[in-house]
Amino acid sequence: MYKDLEGNTAIITGASSGIGRAMALRFGREKMNVVINYRSGKQEVNSIVQEIEQSGGQAIGVYGDVTREEDVKKLVAAAHEHFGSLDVMVNNAGIENEVPSEDLTLEDWRKVLDVNLTGAFLGCREAIDYMLEHGIKGRIINVSSVHEMIPWPHFVHYAASKGGIKMMTETLALEFAPKGIRVNSLGPGAIDTPINAAKFSDPAAKASVEALIPLGYIGKPEEIAAAAAWLASSESSYVTGITLFADGGMTKYPAFQGGHG
Ligand code: NAI
């Protein structure tokens, strides 16, 4: 637990499930105020709010589509109205779909870039604008992926969106460091969440993913939430512009394990 996070206010986008949900619950245990953005899963959000309140934090659920400018503005306004501040912005909402690149429609390309990259940009812009206006040395966490680094055939739109997140994070980190605003990315490896539900329900597909992970297992959402809490806290005060990979070693060329190559 990080004492300095107590009473801080965070927005987490796409937080009704998976990694976002785990981050919301973790921030609740840190006794933070959490704006839980969701596009679907209202019931789930209600139970996350309850759990956060039971663990000593405060929370509200706010519906919104991160690709819509006015919805993202509403998230920041909700943080201000309900909790009087915005200290931590987590741009987590993301989607993917598998399509061989020669068949990828412009519509699918745009949809993924819109949610994963433009949505995160809007979150960064609105949060930074608020933090500058209120003199807050805030923290921005963009949820990227190992695929900002590892090419991923059949997911060119997803990989391009996460590669874009990397440069956006680095650029904003440089731009706003003089104001004390830290901007970092968090790069999960293969994590057990709804985005992977179909794949991991097939034992062969699951085993083929596990073979790519030096630590040997699919990560838990709570392990990503722990990394997010550290990035949000002052324990990472000298860290800006990085991608913190929480990936069980997936980005470390596992094919070379055992001296191959
Ligand atoms: P998830 O599918 O449970 O979470 C994604 C969330 O984003 C969902 O709650 C969904 O409703 C929300 N969302 C989608 N479009 C939205 C929009 N337009 N506006 C607001 N919310 C929207 O999957 P997961 O795994 O928790 O994904 C969270 C983030 O982690 C994503 O950015 C994903 O790319 C990233 N990630 C996940 C990995 C994994 O293995 N699960 C690996 C690397 C990155």
Cα-based distances in Å from 14 to 44, 99, 121, 165, 234: 12, 23, 14, 16, 24
Q: Does residue 252 fall inside a structural domain?
A: no
Taking alpha carbons only, the member of 132, 138, 164, 129 closest to residue 149 is 164
pLDDT of residue 116: 99
Q: Whose CA is nearest to atom 12 of ligand 1?
A: 14
What is the distance in A from the centroid of ligand 1 to the CA of 29? 22
Q: Does residue 156 fall inside a structural domain?
A: yes
Q: Indicate whether residue 195 lines ligand 1 (CB < 6 A).
A: yes
Q: Does residue 253 fall inside a structural domain?
A: no
Active site residue 217: no
pLDDT digits (tens, 9 = 90+) for 139-187: 999 999 999 999 999 999 999 999 999 999 999 999 999 999 999 999 9
What is the distance in A from the centroid of ligand 1 to the CA of 23? 12
Q: Which residues contact 75 (CB under 8 A, 6 or more apart)?
A: 11, 13, 35, 37, 62, 64, 123, 126
Q: Does residue 159 fall inside a structural domain?
A: yes
Domain span at residue 21? Answer: 3-247
How many domains does the chain fold into?
Answer: 1
pLDDT of residue 201: 95
Which CATH number fits the domain that encloses residue 146?
Answer: 3.40.50.720
What is the distance in A from the centroid of ligand 1 to the CA of 17? 8
Q: Does residue 209 fall inside a structural domain?
A: yes
Q: Does residue 177 fall inside a structural domain?
A: yes
Q: Does residue 260 fall inside a structural domain?
A: no
Q: Does residue 26 fall inside a structural domain?
A: yes
Give CA–CA dist 84/86, Å, rounded. Answer: 7
pTM of whole model > 0.95? yes
**CB-count exposure of residue 221 (10 Å: 0-12, 13-18, 19+):** buried
Per-residue pLDDT band at 196 (split at 50, 70, 90) = very high
Per-residue pLDDT band at 39 (split at 50, 70, 90) = very high
pLDDT of residue 81: 98
Q: Which whole number is the average pLDDT over 18-34?
A: 98
The answer to whether the CB of 256 falls within 8 A of the CB of 24 is no
